[in-house]
Structure 1
Amino acid sequence: MAVTEMRKVLADTLQEMMKTDDRIVVMDADLATANGTFGLRKVYPDRAIDVGISEANMASMAAGMSAYGMKPYIVTFTAFASRRIADQLAISCSYARQDVKIIATDAGVTAQTNGGTHMSLEDIGIVRSIPGTVVLDLIDGVQLKKALPVIHDYKGVVYVRMVRKETPDVFDDSYEFDLFKGKCIKEGKDLTLIATGMMVHEALEADKILQAEGIDAEIIAIHCIKPLDEDIVVQSAKKTGKVMTLENHNIHGGLYSAVTEVLARKCPVSVVPIGIQDHFGEVGKTRFLMEKYGLNKEKIVEEAKNLLK
């Protein structure tokens, strides 16, 4: 399966968008090289800005720019794009009804050797709880490229969570992005796997094992966690009667919370979470951390079998 460097897709797509909309400003907080956006300064030196290590200031500046008709994008690691600037996102951006886009990289365990301080496993929960926000956990480079122009046209605060480095391609060029709609990427009858972000690929890998053992799983790819596509979740839950959620995030406040909030009201069924079980992160390569925290295909298969007993 092909892989794509997400930060390259991010920078290339932003550069193309900046050609046609001179209101776009890309803001970094001393991480432009790490996030792949440094080259934008050579092409658009007046609209690619480094504010230094001052993320809260960056968010407030973005809100001010939006108030004057600009289209600011702030780019930093998830930890700094959520818990560090939660007050600015809530008050300066969302409460003030500004048009600010937050690009949050190094999602979850993909922060790897940056360790627990830089590994945000709670960011979706933080931003999701702020009124008026849209929260995305993007799946691959194809989706990112097609999502950015759509996100740009949406007026409001959008939090875009993504892997920074290489990630396997799930979609091909025929994929069409809908901001608020999930996608059934495999139909099945025995149970439903609802996955987001990098866990969509892991769901597909687990499904190969499940199929070999005669288990027919339906796979729902969710990129928009707030507002959640309730229709696709409820429809699949009614069909299979058993649901698992898969996320590179704490099970509190993220996809599991969003899904169970809906199903508790509309279709009460058994829901098993695959995600971080209320732990801080630590130093380690992504695959090691996925195995340590049970985010791998083997754990998905194990829990699927338990659910079907």
Structure 2
Amino acid sequence: MGAAGQDQSTLFRGDDAELRLKDAKSVRGTPARTMPAFILGEELADLADHDPRIVVATADLANSSRTRDFANRHPDRFIDFGIAERNMITAAAGMASCGLVPYVATFASFAGILAAEAIKTDCAYPRMPVRVIGHHSGISMGFYGTSHHSTEDLGMMRPIADLTVVCAADANQLRAILRASVDHPGAMYIRLGRGRDAEVYSTVPDDFAFGRATQLRDGRDLTIIATGSQVHASLAAADRLAEQGRSVRVLDMHTIKPLDEQAIRAAARETKAILTVEEHNVIGGLGSAVAEVLVSEERKPFRRHGILDEFSLIGPPAALYAHYKLDADGVTDVANGLLKEIN
């Protein structure tokens, strides 16, 4: 219970529409209902109400991922493996081979990095419909340090054949991803933020499709291609640049693999420069994927923005985002720098 008698499960689920977290600097008063990680269990439970194939597992993180909400409603289809991430994913592949659709959740550093081999060999290679959910990705674990930061997972997941890789920007998009994932063929890696990501989509997008980017804003001077937590920051930066007379297109490249190459090529033809923004190492993630497309096109000013090739610092998430220029101010500054160069 909280200080005012507030049930903590209400905090995580966001049942109280007026409830707001108090850490204004890190959270900025984000409504609990808009927190991606915190609606994960609820949405999966809703899907499971109508689909007996869906099972959910966690590696001792039922509260952090809120898969506890699934366990409360479907206890016979929920397994907590304890701190055994690779075993969990291998077991999920076994469940999938029996006709189930397993969703397994743990920190992204343990899912996409520690258990990469299990994802490759046990899930992707035999094309098992396992959905590995890596939550608290990037630098969102803050003080937990390098072992819990996940700035390499996209680079590890992208080269795995027959693996779909997708990043949720907010709670409503996560709902769309989960709904679209149930009958999607093969294995999937779903990357979530810290569960306190600001709203990008006011409703669940009904036109969501894997492999098709969403254009959130049109422009001619610059295209910002962002994914996951950086979509909101990029939209805010585009608004600030518009006030300066800059016309900026924003693409939500939610699916890292398969990549929407057509949207990238259109941006290269129709705008003057391209900037990728991601909460990930600039090597191996979204920026590298976009560069692989652009290299075969007419040369266009291009910059990758994210974590430089280094181990990220330790500190509160808000301070880390500011330090690495992954907040609205930082993305605006980087975009302005690129625009000044090309002019």
| Alignment TM class, shorter chain as reference | over 0.9
Gaps of 5+ in 2: 1-28
| Count of residues paired in the alignment | 309
Cα 1:23/1:175, change in 2 over 3 Å: closer
Matched-pair identity in %: 35
Does the 8 Å contact 1:182/1:220 carry over to 2?
Answer: yes
Please give the residue correspondences for 1:219-234 in structure 2 after superposition, counting only pairs within 5 Å.
Answer: 219-234=250-265
Please give the residue correspondences for 1:222-261 in structure 2 after superposition, counting only pairs within 5 Å.
Answer: 222-261=253-292
Question: Residue deviations 1:130-182, cap 9 Å, x none?
Answer: 11111111111111112211011102111000124221111122632112211
Cα 1:168/1:20, change in 2 over 3 Å: same
Does the 8 Å contact 2:30/2:196 carry over to 1?
Answer: no
Are 1:182 and 2:213 matched, yes or no? Answer: yes
Q: 1:195 aligns with which of 216, 226, 235?
A: 226
Q: Which residue does the alignment assign to 1:291? A: 322
Read off the aligned partner of 1:200 and give its amino acid letter. V
Question: Residue deviations 1:215-256, cap 9 Å, x none?
Answer: 111111110011110111110111113100000111111000
- Could you say what secondary structure the match of 2:122 adopts? helix
- Could you say what secondary structure the match of 2:49 adopts? helix
Read off the aligned partner of 1:142 and give its amino acid letter. N
Please give the residue correspondences for 1:107-122 in structure 2 after superposition, counting only pairs within 5 Å.
Answer: 107-122=137-152
Q: Which residue does the alignment assign to 2:197? A: 167
Q: Which residue does the alignment assign to 1:157? A: 187
For 1:13 and 1:302, the matched residues in 2 are separated by 37
For 1:194 and 1:19, the matched residues in 2 are separated by 36
Cα 1:124/1:174, change in 2 over 3 Å: closer
Does the 8 Å contact 1:35/1:164 carry over to 2?
Answer: no
Q: Which residue does the alignment assign to 2:35? A: 5
Q: 1:40 aligns with which of 70, 75, 87?
A: 70
Please give the residue correspondences for 1:91-110 in structure 2 after superposition, counting only pairs within 5 Å.
Answer: 91-110=121-140
Question: Residue deviations 1:112-140, cap 9 Å, x none?
Answer: 22221101100011011111111111111
1:208, CA displacement in angstroms?
2.3
Gaps of 5+ in 1: none
Are 1:61 and 2:91 matched, yes or no? Answer: yes
- Could you say what secondary structure the match of 2:141 adopts? helix
Q: Which residue does the alignment assign to 2:47? A: 17
Are 1:138 and 2:164 matched, yes or no? Answer: no
- Could you say what secondary structure the match of 1:248 adopts? strand
Does the 8 Å contact 1:119/1:282 carry over to 2?
Answer: no
Does the 8 Å contact 2:173/2:204 carry over to 1?
Answer: no
Question: Residue deviations 1:250-285, cap 9 Å, x none?
Answer: 111100001000011134312111100012233322
For 1:87 and 1:295, the matched residues in 2 are separated by 30
1:110, CA displacement in angstroms?
1.4
Does the 8 Å contact 1:133/1:226 carry over to 2?
Answer: yes
Does the 8 Å contact 1:250/1:275 carry over to 2?
Answer: yes
- Could you say what secondary structure the match of 1:136 adopts? strand
1:297, CA displacement in angstroms?
2.4
Q: 1:51 aligns with which of 81, 96, 118?
A: 81
For 1:54 and 1:233, the matched residues in 2 are separated by 39
1:21, CA displacement in angstroms?
1.1
Does the 8 Å contact 1:245/1:274 carry over to 2?
Answer: yes
Read off the aligned partner of 2:257 and give its amino acid letter. K
Question: Residue deviations 1:195-228, cap 9 Å, x none?
Answer: 1111111011112221121111111111001111
Q: Which has the higher contact order (CA 8 A, sep 6+)?
A: 1
Read off the aligned partner of 2:68 and give its amino acid letter. F
- Could you say what secondary structure the match of 1:83 adopts? helix
- Could you say what secondary structure the match of 1:17 adopts? helix
Q: TM-score, normalised by structure 1?
A: 0.96
Are 1:280 and 2:340 matched, yes or no? Answer: no
